[in-house]
C-alpha cells in the first residue's frame, strides 16, 4: 500500500513538473535552542549579536511568533506543520530511552521539498525520536545529516548520560572531541553551501545546540561580557555570541558562493529561554516549560529573496506549524490540505495582515504537571485553562546579580487555574480577566474543546532498558523499538 502511494506521488511530481526551477530559493531554517526573548541584540542592546541583528534588521522581524513550551513538540510542528497534540508529542521532550518518535505516517518538510526538486540537509539537534532507524533524519527526507539525536549534551565531548551521541549521516562520529558544536555545525553548513549542485536549490535545516544547557563556551566569548557580574549569565551571553559568529560564517559562505541573494533564511527559537540556565525572556511572563508568553512567544525573523517589504516588524500571528506551508509556498509547492499550518508567505513578503487569527499553545491531558497543559489564543484574548507550567513570574536577566535563589522560580499560583488575558491591552499577562468576563472564558473553552476532539493521548512511556547505549558499544543508537 505504502509503496504504491509514494510511487503515485513521484509520478505526479514528474508530470506536474516537480523538478527544480530557476526561481526556487535556497532555504535555511535556523533554530536556536532555548534562546530567550531578551537574549538577542535586536531585543536587548546589551547582547552582542551583530550577524543575527543584520539579518533581522534587513528582513522581517516577527513580533508574534509562537512555538510550544519545550523542544520536541516545537520541532514536531516545524517538521510536520501539525500540532503536536495530534502526534502524541505534546507532553514533554522525548527522553533518551523512551521508545517514541513522531509517528512515521507524518510527512516531514524535507519530504515535501524533495518532491519540489530540493536537496535537503539537517545539521544539529534532532530530538524527534531515534529508537528506530526509520525515525531518524536520513529516513525522514533528509539527504544528509550531521548532529545528535537527543535534546542536549556536552558541547565538546558530544556525550549525554556518559555516552556518545554524534552522527555523520548514520555513522558514529568519534573524532570530534574538543570541537565546540556551534562551529562544527556552521562548518557542515558551509561545506554544503560550497559544494552544492547549482542546478538544484538546497534546503538546510540548522537546529543549533546553542544555547541550551550545559553552559559552556570558549573563554574569548565569555570575556566579551566583562560587565555581566553573574558568571553563569556571562557564559550564557558568550554562548549567544558564539552562535552569532557561527551564523556569520554561514552568511559569509552564501555571499562567497554568490547565492546569498537567492537564499531565504528563517530564524526561530524552539521555546522561551530556560530561566534556571540563565536564559531570559524579560519583560514577558514565565519561560521555557510554560504556556505563558515568555515560554511560547519567541525571537524570530525571516530574511532574503522574495521578501518585498523589508526592515519592518510583522505584528500578525505566526505559529510553529506555519513554517511548513510558508516554506513550501516560497518553494513553489503546497503541503497536504489536512495540516494545521497556514501559509504566511504572501503576508510576510508584502507586509499584509496575518492569515492566522487563532492558535493552540498546547493541549495535554497527561496527569503529571511538567509543562503547560492547555491554552488557546483567539484574536485579542488568551485563555489558560489548567496548570500553566513551572515558572509564573517576570524575571530580569541575572546579569548584575549572583544567581537568583531557585525557590524564586517555583510555580506559586496553584490557587488559580483559569486565566483570561486581553493580550492586545496586556501583553505581559498581568491582569486576569477570568472572573470579569465569564462569557469569553466559556467561548474560548468551547473553541478549545473543538480542537480537543482531534487530540491523541500523549505518548510518554517509561524509558526502555533496551535503548541503553551499553548494548551498542557506548553510543546512543537506533534499532530497539
Ligand X SMILES: *[C@@H]1O[C@H](CO)[C@@H](O)[C@H](O)[C@H]1NC(C)=O
Give Cβ neighbours of residue 124 (< 8 Å, ≥ 6 apart): 31, 146, 147, 148, 181, 185, 205, 206, 207, 208, 209
Q: Does 44 bind ligand X (CB under 6 A)?
A: yes
**DSSP label of 394:** B
Q: Does 325 bind ligand X (CB under 6 A)?
A: no
Number of residues that bind ligand X (CB under 6 A): 23
| Given 111, 422, 432, 443, the residue binding ligand X (CB under 6 A) | 422
What is each CA distance from 15 to 10, 11, 18, 329, 361, in whole angstroms?
9, 6, 7, 19, 40
Task: Count the neighbouring beta carbons within 10 Å of the beta carbon of residue 219.
Answer: 8
How near is the Cβ of 282 to ligand X at its closest, in Å? Answer: 6
Cα angle for residues 318, 321, 327 (degrees, 5° grid): 80
| Given 6, 19, 177, 313, the residue binding ligand X (CB under 6 A) | 313
**Binders of ligand X among 46-105, rule CB under 6 A?**
46, 63, 103, 105
| Given 187, 218, 427, 464, the residue binding ligand X (CB under 6 A) | 427
Q: Does 106 bind ligand X (CB under 6 A)?
A: yes
How near is the Cβ of 479 to ligand X at its closest, in Å? Answer: 21
Q: Is the dihedral of CA 401, 402, 404, 407 positive or negative?
A: negative
C-alpha 82, offset from chain centre: 14
Any catalytic annotation for residue 127?
Answer: yes
Strands (E), 208-291: 263-269
C-alpha 388, offset from chain centre: 20
Of residues 42 and 472, the one with the C-beta less far from ligand X: 42
Which single residue brings its beta carbon nearest to ligand X?
427
- Of 111-119, 271-279, 302-310, 420-428, the segment contacting ligand X by CB under 6 A is 420-428
Cell triple for 356: 492566522
How near is the Cβ of 174 to ligand X at its closest, in Å? Answer: 8
- Of 24-32, 38-46, 199-207, 263-271, the segment contacting ligand X by CB under 6 A is 38-46
Q: Does 399 bind ligand X (CB under 6 A)?
A: yes
Catalytic residue, chosen from 71, 131, 135, 237, is 71
Of residues 28 and 173, the one with the C-beta less far from ligand X: 173
Q: Does 228 bind ligand X (CB under 6 A)?
A: yes
Any catalytic annotation for residue 212?
Answer: no
CA pair distance 392, 390, nearest whole angstrom? 7
Return the exposure string of 377-389: e unless at least 16 CB atoms fall within 10 Å of the residue's CB, then b. beeebbbbbbbbb
CA pair distance 182, 51, nearest whole angstrom? 14
Positions annotated as catalytic residues are 71, 127
Q: Which residues bind ligand X (CB under 6 A)?
A: 38, 44, 46, 63, 103, 105-106, 175, 227-228, 282, 313, 315, 380-381, 396-397, 399-400, 422, 424-425, 427
Amino acid at each position: 500500500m505504502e509503496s504504491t502511494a509514494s510511487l503515485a506521488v513521484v509520478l505526479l511530481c514528474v508530470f506536474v513538473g516537480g523538478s527544480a526551477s530557476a526561481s526556487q530559493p535556497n532555504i535555511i531554517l535556523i533554530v536556536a535552542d532555548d534562546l530567550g526573548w531578551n537574549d538577542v541584540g535586536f531585543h536587548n542592546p546589551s547582547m552582542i549579536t551583530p550577524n543575527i541583528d543584520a539579518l533581522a534588521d534587513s528582513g522581517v522581524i516577527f513580533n508574534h511568533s509562537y512555538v510550544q513550551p519545550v523542544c520536541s513538540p516545537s520541532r514536531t510542528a516545524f517538521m510536520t506543520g501539525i500540532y503536536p497534540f495530534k502526534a502524541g508529542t505534546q507532553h514533554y521532550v522525548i527522553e533518551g530511552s523512551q521508545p517514541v518518535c513522531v509517528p512515521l505516517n507524518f510527512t516531514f518538510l524535507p519530504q515535501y521539498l524533495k518532491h519540489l526538486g530540493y536537496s535537503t540537509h539537517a545539521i544539529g539537534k534532532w530530538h524527534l525520536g531515534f529508537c528506530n532507524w526509520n525515525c531518524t533524519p536520513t529516513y525522514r527526507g533528509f539527504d544528509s545529516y550531521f548532529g545528535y539525536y537527543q535534546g542536549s549534551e556536552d558541547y565538546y565531548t558530544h556525550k549525554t548520560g556518559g555516552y556518545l551521541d554524534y552522527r555523520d549521516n548514520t555513522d558514529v562520529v568519534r573524532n570530534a572531541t574538543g570541537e565546540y558544536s556551534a562551529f562544527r555545525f556552521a562548518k557542515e553548513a558551509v561545506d554544503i553551501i560550497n559544494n552544492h549542485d547549482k542546478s538544484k536549490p538546497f534546503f538546510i535545516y540548522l537546529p543549533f545546540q546553542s544555547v541550551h544547557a550545559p553552559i559552556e563556551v570558549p573563554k574569548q566569548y565569555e570575556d566579551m561580557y566583562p560587565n555581566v557580574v553573574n558568571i553563569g549569565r556571562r557564559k550564557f551571553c558568550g554562548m549567544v555570541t558564539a552562535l552569532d559568529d557561527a551564523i556569520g560564517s554561514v552568511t559569509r559562505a552564501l555571499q562567497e558562493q554568490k547565492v546569498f541573494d537567492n537564499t531565504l533564511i528563517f530564524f526561530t527559537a524552539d521555546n522561551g529561554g530556560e530561566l534556571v540556565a540563565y536564559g531570559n525572556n524579560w519583560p514577558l511572563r514565565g519561560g521555557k516549560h510554560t504556556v505563558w508568553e515568555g515560554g511560547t512567544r519567541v525571537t524570530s525573523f525571516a530574511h532574503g529573496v522574495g521578501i518585498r517589504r523589508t526592515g519592518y516588524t510583522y505584528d500578525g500571528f505566526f505559529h510553529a506549524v506555519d513554517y511548513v506551508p510558508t516554506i513550501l509556498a516560497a518553494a513553489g509547492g503546497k503541503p497536504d490540505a489536512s495540516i494545521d499550518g497556514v501559509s504566511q508567505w504572501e503576508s510576510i513578503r508584502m507586509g499584509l495582515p496575518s492569515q492566522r487569527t487563532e492558535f493552540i499553545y498546547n493541549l495535554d491531558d497527561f496527569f503529571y504537571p511538567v509543562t503547560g497543559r492547555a491554552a488557546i489564543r483567539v484574536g485579542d484574548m488568551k485563555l489558560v485553562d489548567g496548570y500553566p507550567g513551572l515558572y509564573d513570574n517576570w524575571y530580569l536577566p541575572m546579569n548584575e546579580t549572583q544567581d537568583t535563589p531557585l525557590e524564586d522560580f517555583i510555580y506559586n499560583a496553584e490557587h488559580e487555574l483559569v486565566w483570561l488575558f486581553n493580550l492586545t491591552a496586556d501583553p505581559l499577562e498581568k491582569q486576569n480577566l477570568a472572573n470579569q468576563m465569564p462569557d469569553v472564558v466559556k467561548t474560548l473553552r468551547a473553541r478549545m474543546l473543538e480542537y480537543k476532539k482531534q487530540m491523541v493521548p500523549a505518548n510518554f512511556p517509561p524509558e526502555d532498558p533496551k535503548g541503553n547505549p551499553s548494548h551498542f558499544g557506548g553510543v546512543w543508537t537506533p534499532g530497539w523499538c
